[in-house]
Amino acid sequence: MKLRLGAAVLAAALIPLTAVTTSSPASAGVDTTPPEVGSCHDLTMAEGYDESDPDPAVDCAGPHTSITVAVVELEQAPDWTDPSSYPDSVWRTCGNAFELALGDNPKLIRRSAHTWFWFMPTRVQREAGALWVRCDLTLLGGDRLLKLPQELVLGGLPLPNAVAKCRQGKRADYAYTACSQPHQFRATLSIRYPHSSYPGPRAAKRFALRKCRARATSVFFYEYVGTRAAWRNGYRHAVCLYKD
């Protein structure tokens, strides 16, 4: 499967959009139309953690740090301040779209520095009746978001430094970053769980720690499969990050 970035490709491959319009004196002049799947944005790390993104999209042919991979339309307004009140379909749809955009290979995805952020409508849009959640794929670079490559699909291990997962050092709070940036630890090893069904978070953690420790010669990090949902989605590998 080969995805080339572009609004037309992602819009067709991921989630069809239906324009939502509202008309009332209170919402006159406020655009509540859902964002477009495949639109690109130039977000900072701080903006990635904001609840909303009021800035317009940028040209995907130029530099950008995020691309919208999913927009989920809601039937009714949730408690916007409590993401746990959102329908499960929001997180399921966003997670699935994120994986599809990267090539739908959980082993490779866990070895990459990609992640995704979500955004609700702005306060003005919510007051005007906007009912959607936007999810963007990004690439971590420690305390900033890195420019996304034009080709997102992950080819195979070892991943190139531009997208491979590393972690910085103590002074940088061990933040995740692409390995093209300064770092001390690299995601070096993937170990498949031998279990036929989800072992539970405690057993999964013990397995990852034991396997990663067996090959460690100094300080290391480990990642385990922490949820049943992740297991169902094909995440069946522990990941070891060793000194690089």
Q: Which pLDDT tens digit goes with each residue over 188-233? A: 999 999 999 999 999 999 999 999 999 999 999 999 999 999 999 9
* Centroid of chain to Cα 3: 17
Residue 151 has pLDDT above 50, yes or no: yes
Is 127 in the same domain as 15?
yes
pLDDT value at residue 15: 31
- The domain tally of the chain equals 2
Half-sphere exposure of 57 (CA within 13 A, CB side): 17
Residue 131 and residue 26 in one domain: yes
Domain end call among 86, 109, 139: 139
Indicate whether 161 belongs to any domain: no
Closest CA to 73 of 108, 41, 121, 30: 121
User: Is a pLDDT exceeding 70 seen at residue 4?
Assistant: no
State whether 36 and 97 are in the same domain: yes
Tally Cβ neighbours within 10 Å of residue 232: 9
Q: Is residue 213 part of a domain?
A: yes
On whether both 52 and 135 belong to a single domain, the answer is yes
Q: Let me know if residue 171 belongs to a domain.
A: no
Does residue 174 form part of some domain? no
Nearest CA to 104 out of 5, 231, 198, 3 is that of 3
Q: Who wins on pLDDT, 124 or 22?
A: 124
Are 184 and 218 in contact by the 8 Å Cβ rule? The answer is no
Q: Are residues 11 and 131 in the same domain?
A: yes
Q: What is the pLDDT, as a whole number, of residue 25?
A: 45
Range of the domain at 228: 184-243
